[in-house]
Amino acid sequence: MYPTVQNCTNCGANLTINDLRLQGCPYCQTVYPHRSMAEQQMQINQQMMGRIVQQQYPVVQQATRQLRWLLLMPILTSLLIAIIVIVTLLL
Ligand SMILES: [Zn+2]
């Protein structure tokens, strides 16, 4: 059995370190303040990350488009050369 490390701020129950790992007090179900604060902070962080990703998305999209052309260029060039060679040999 774990020793009491804290008392519930709502019902005063003796809480062990194991009880504090839960979402709230196991006796009165009151959500622990540190849990609700962490949850609020997590929601704020997720909103901020979502905004950052939204702001970066057009830049990434444009870079991908440019990179695609850069990769296609040698293929298109060699195709053109092959066509010229074939046409020259046939004539
Ligand atoms: Zn309680």
Distance from residue 10's CA to the centre of ligand 1 (Å): 5
**What total of structural domains would you count in the chain?**
1
Distance from residue 37's CA to the centre of ligand 1 (Å): 17
Q: State the burial class of residue 83 (Cβ atoms within 10 Å of its Cβ: 0-12, 13-18, 19+).
A: exposed
Tokens representing 87 are: 């046409």
Note the pTM of the prediction, 2 decimals.
0.48
Q: What percent of the chain has pLDDT over 90?
A: 65
> What is the SS3 assignment for 4?
strand
Distance from residue 77's CA to the centre of ligand 1 (Å): 74
What is the pLDDT at residue 57?
Answer: 83
pLDDT digit string, tens, across residues 51-78:
998 888 888 888 888 888 888 999 999 9
The whole domain housing 42 covers 4-90
What is the pLDDT at residue 66?
Answer: 87
Contact status, residue 25 vs residue 8, Cβ threshold 8 Å: yes
